Amino acid sequence: MQSSKQLTEVIREWSEVFMQRSMRDFKRFMDETGLSFSQVNILMRLVHAGITSVSEIGGQMGVTNAAASQAVERLVQLDLIERTEAPDDRRTKRLALTQKGRVLIEQGIEARSKWIEGLMDVLTSDQQNMIISALTLLTDAAQKTKE
């Protein structure tokens, strides 16, 4: 039982450090690009979902279609998103990342995780191998608990 509590605490501490560092670096990236959190959120959703609609974006973000459409419009103007009509319904607008948008998000993801590379400088090869094994087990367990 004690090892379970200790594991929970260690994972919680790591999660806090990880989130603080990655979010700080990602926030710095957002500030440099001038994009809002909502706009970056839309771009990230398009990276993972591929082509989607304004209403799907609004539903995923918990905002009205008008609010989603406004955020999307700015991204279209910046040439980060391409908006086209759905072939089966001209009223439905389909959204996809442009190449410029994809490159920007890849840079953001890299900025968010760049500090992890610095960790390798302070860990021995044996420590790195232990962490690989432990995180592989943790990732596998976490994937089994998905809804």
pLDDT digits (tens, 9 = 90+) for 87-128: 787 777 789 999 999 999 998 888 878 888 888 889 999 999
pLDDT digits (tens, 9 = 90+) for 13-36: 999 998 898 888 888 888 888 988
Contact predicate 110/86, CB 8 Å: no
Q: What total of structural domains would you count in the chain?
A: 1
**What is residue 25's three-state secondary structure?**
helix
Identify the CA nearest to 62 among candidates 41, 86, 87: 41
- Kindly report, residue by residue over 126-144, the tens digit of the pLDDT: 999 999 999 999 999 988 9
pLDDT of 147 reads 61
CATH number at residue 16: 1.10.10.10
Q: Which residues form the domain of 108? A: 2-144
